[in-house]
């Protein structure tokens, strides 16, 4: 693989010195960009974009043409694995993803097979290869997957949920069935991420969007244990380089010490966890990613800049920080506000990375 022209994102994940704090945004390729909305309208539907390597590449690159981002992230969806398992994924306007064949019983789980990422998910490695070629070593490419717990919530609930009553019923009344499902999903994610790594991504991220709805004990047993299995199962070296792994549990700030013990390289944190407290608790064990409230991008430019400065000051001097939003960028945020955010991180972070002069 060619040497990256801008590798500060990877260097920060390795806690190596950087000239400024790297920044990218979750969902940076998406609906807040008018060029994405235009492409999506022409494509017809969301999955048509995901399943076309050329369109997925175009959408991945769109934000990099606008902003000085330090990483690109594969344009895809966390529900590609359940879709490949035959659950009949479809999207309802205003309601989000739904499954025609949700998981309801042990027999449903037993009927699931671990998908071959080079067959039923072949469009993802194909998209990665196309993106890597078009990126031309400008910045790293991030691959990703949903966590087993988060994927299971959609598969059992059959759609997005606020109460998570169906999967929690399974968790408390039939935990053996849920463990079987989570184990199959962990094996699927390992294969899927290894295929992404082989295709050329430079790092991977696991999105545990719904881990924060669990109690501590349940989080350990039904979410974190399976993310650790994935961390242990994926290829950490490829193309002559280390492949960093970032784990992100939304509303998981109370479990940072546990997450840091999994062997991951970085932990994503949301805006409910203060950056200085997070850094104190994990020390130099892992890098940290985050954590500005995405809604801050509705604010005027000067307020966005002040919030960037506040978070940089919270983290303090030295490397090991990848600046990001605490979750995905909202679809109705003005695109130029995202530009203010990215530029502010670069402008104000330089002073935190100057090597002090020894007297």
Q: Which residues contact 129 (CB under 8 A, 6 or more apart)?
A: 53, 199, 200
Choose among 148, 262, 264: nearest CA to 214: 148
Domain boundaries along the sequence of the chain:
8-353
Annotated binding residue 154? yes
Phi, psi (rounded to 5 degrees) for 96: 85, -160
Active site residues per annotation? 27, 31, 40, 77, 154
Residues 6+ apart with CB under 8 A from 13: 203, 244, 246, 265, 266, 287, 322
77 assigned to a ligand binding site: yes
pTM of this prediction?
0.95
HEC secondary structure over 115-133: CCCCCCCCHHHHHHHHHHH
Q: Is 206 helix (H, G, I), strand (E, B) or coil?
A: strand
Output the average pLDDT for the chain: 95
Identify whether the C-beta of residue 254 lies closer than 8 Å to the C-beta of residue 285: no
What burial letters (b/e) apply to 58-88, b meaning 16+ CB within 10 Å? Answer: bbbbbbbeebebbbbbbbbbbbbbbbbbebe
Residue 162's pLDDT is 87
246 annotated binding-site participant:
no
State pLDDT tens for residues 244-300. 999 999 999 999 999 999 999 999 999 999 999 999 999 999 999 999 999 999 999
**Diameter of the chain measured on Cα atoms:** 70
Is 31 known to sit in a ligand binding site? yes
Q: Are strands 141-146 and 96-99 parallel, antiparallel or unpaired?
A: unpaired
| Residue 96 burial (CB count, 10 A) | 11
Instruction: Give tens-digit pLDDT for 172-211.
Output: 999 999 999 999 999 999 999 999 999 999 999 999 999 9
CATH 3.20.20.210 fits 8-353, yes or no: yes
Six-digit token string for 150: 């988060």
The per-residue pLDDT for 357 is: 44
* Residue 1 predicted with pLDDT over 80: no
The predicted-structure confidence for 116-169, as pLDDT tens digits, reads as follows 999 999 999 999 999 999 999 999 999 999 999 999 999 999 988 889 999 999
- pLDDT for the residue 2: 61
- Residue showing tokens 């972070």: 349
Which residues, 6+ apart, have CB-to-CB distance to 213 below 8 Å?
A: 164, 251
């Amino acid at each position: 693989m060619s040497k990256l022209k801008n590798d500060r994102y990877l260097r920060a994940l390795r806690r190596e010195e950087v000239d400024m704090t790297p920044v990218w945004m979750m969902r940076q390729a998406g609906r807040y960009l008018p060029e994405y909305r235009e492409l999506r309208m022409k494509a017809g539907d969301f999955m048509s974009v995901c399943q076309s390597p050329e369109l997925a590449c175009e959408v991945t690159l769109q934000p990099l043409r606008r902003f000085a981002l330090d990483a690109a992230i594969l344009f895809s969806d966390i529900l590609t694995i359940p879709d490949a398992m035959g659950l009949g994924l479809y999207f309802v306007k205003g309601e989000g993803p739904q499954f025609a064949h949700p998981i309801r019983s042990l027999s449903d789980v037993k009927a699931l097979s671990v998908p071959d990422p080079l067959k039923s998910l072949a469009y993802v490695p194909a998209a990665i290869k196309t993106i890597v070629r078009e990126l031309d070593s400008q910045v790293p490419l991030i691959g990703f997957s949903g966590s087993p717990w988060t994927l299971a919530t959609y598969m059992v609930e059959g759609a997005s949920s606020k109460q998570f009553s169906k999967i929690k019923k399974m968790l408390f009344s039939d935990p053996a069935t849920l463990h079987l499902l989570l184990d199959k999903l962990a094996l699927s994610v390992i294969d899927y991420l290894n295929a992404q790594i082989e295709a050329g991504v430079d790092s991977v991220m696991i999105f545990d969007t719904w881990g924060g709805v669990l109690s501590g004990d349940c989080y350990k047993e039904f979410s974190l244990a399976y993310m650790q299995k994935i961390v242990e199962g994926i290829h950490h070296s490829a193309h002559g380089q280390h492949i960093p792994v970032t784990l992100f549990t939304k509303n998981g700030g109370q479990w940072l010490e546990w997450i840091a013990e999994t062997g991951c390289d970085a932990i994503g944190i949301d805006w409910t966890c203060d950056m200085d407290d997070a850094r104190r608790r994990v020390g130099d064990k892992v890098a940290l990613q985050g954590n500005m409230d995405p809604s801050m991008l509705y604010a005027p430019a000067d307020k966005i800049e002040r919030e960037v400065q506040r978070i940089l000051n919270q983290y303090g001097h030295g490397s090991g920080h990848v600046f990001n939003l605490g979750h995905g960028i909202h679809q109705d945020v003005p695109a130029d506000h995202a530009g203010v955010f990215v530029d502010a991180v670069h402008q104000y972070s330089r002073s935190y990375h100057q090597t002090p002069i020894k007297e």
